[in-house]
Structures are given as structure tokens and as C-alpha cells.
Amino acid sequence: MFGEMAKMGTINKERFVLFSDGVFAIILTLLVLDLKVPESLGLAGLRTATPGLLVHAGAFFVIGMAWITHHHFLEHVERIGSNMLGYNLLVLFWITLVPFGARTAAEHPYDGLGAAIMVASIALNLASLLLMAWFGDYESVTHDPIMQPLRRRRGRYFLAYLAIALIVTMLCFDSPWFGYGFLMWGASVLWVAPPSVVHARLVAEENG
């Protein structure tokens, strides 16, 4: 009976992962709906469409980056408890705001509001992932003896990133370029050093 009750609180990891992936995939693709048909024709139309295309590309890779981080976190999780559903909804909620920020930025590219919404959404997405990592009811892959210290260390990096992101959010109201630059920096860091590579390096460091 007790084994049964314990099992009650466990969630099918695959379903959890696919649901999250579904939300990321949809958000990525909804971005295209905000691309407006240019009023001018031919090559002139392409020039008119360029700012929107750049914002589209930026938002696409920012959401992709959030997906890769989420993906990496779940690769190391084995058993998922019932409170993870709530935390995960919170993680996904912030991501759904990125297309709203992108649309605002595409319409008023020189105003800071769109950039601020995008930066704040990503920051709160990471913060919620951190909350999930700290308070979520899950078990890491059991044969990873140094997961615990890593979790604490990664936490510190995340907190630093979060603090910087909130400062950048405010700076956006001065100039949107703080926000655009920050998002481009984030995406390129992820390209050069994806979470799995960072993780492997941290594992090596911990082992001395």
C-alpha cells in the first residue's frame, strides 16, 4: 500500500518532457505570425521587412536558448514528483511572454519596452527554473555522485545571471540597445558553451 501511495505522487517523465517541448515548439513558431507583409514591393519590400526579420531571428534564438537550458536540466532528472508540474507551468509561463515582447519591439524598435519585456521574461524563466531545481520534488540521475555540489554551484551562476538580467531590464528603459546586446550576448555564449559542455567542465573541476 505504501509503495502504491508513494507512486501516486510520481509523474511520467516522458509526458512532462513532451508537454514542455510542445509549448517551446509552439512559442518558437508563433513568432512568425508577427511578421507583417511589407507594403512596398520587390527589394524595397525586403528592406522594409528587415527590422521585423531581425527581431524575429533574435526572439527565435533566445527561446531556443531557453529550450536548450530546460532540456539540459531535465536530461539529469530521473524521477519527477507532483509539485514539479506547478513549477514547470511557471517556467513555461514566462516563455509565453517573449513573443509579446518581440511584437512590441518590432513595432517600436527604438523604444525600450519590447526589449525590457524580452529580457525580463528570460530572466524570470531562468529564475523559475532555479526555483524548480531548488524546491522541486525530483531525483537526479542516481549514478552521478557529484550532482549535489554542482547543483549548488550552478545555482550561483544562475543567480548572478538573474541579477544582471534584472539590471539590464531597467537599463532598457534608458536605451533598448542594452537589452538587444544582452540577448545577443546570451545567445552567443550558449552557442560557444552549451550547458552540456559547461556541465562536463564543472564535473571535471569538482573532481579536481
**Contacts for 35 with CB less than 8 Å, ≥ 6 apart:** 49, 52, 53, 56
In whole angstroms, give the CA distance from residue 144 to residue 203: 10
Of the two residues 52 and 130, which places its CB atom closer to a copy of itself in the complex? 52
Of the two residues 6 and 160, which places its CB atom closer to a copy of itself in the complex? 6
Of the two residues 35 and 162, which places its CB atom closer to a copy of itself in the complex? 35
Least Å distance, CB 156 to a copy of itself, is 20
Residue 79: strand pairing partners: 139
Residue 154 burial by CB count (10 A; 0-12/13-18/19+): exposed, middle or buried?
middle
Least Å distance, CB 120 to a copy of itself, is 10
Least Å distance, CB 204 to a copy of itself, is 7
Size (the chain), residues: 208
Of the two residues 83 and 164, which places its CB atom closer to a copy of itself in the complex? 83
In whole angstroms, give the CA distance from residue 153 to residue 166: 20
In whole angstroms, give the CA distance from residue 115 to residue 176: 6
Least Å distance, CB 188 to a copy of itself, is 11
Of the two residues 82 and 148, which places its CB atom closer to a copy of itself in the complex? 82
Least Å distance, CB 2 to a copy of itself, is 10
Q: Which helix (H) or strand (E) holds 11?
A: strand 10-11
Biggest CA-to-CA distance, the chain: 71
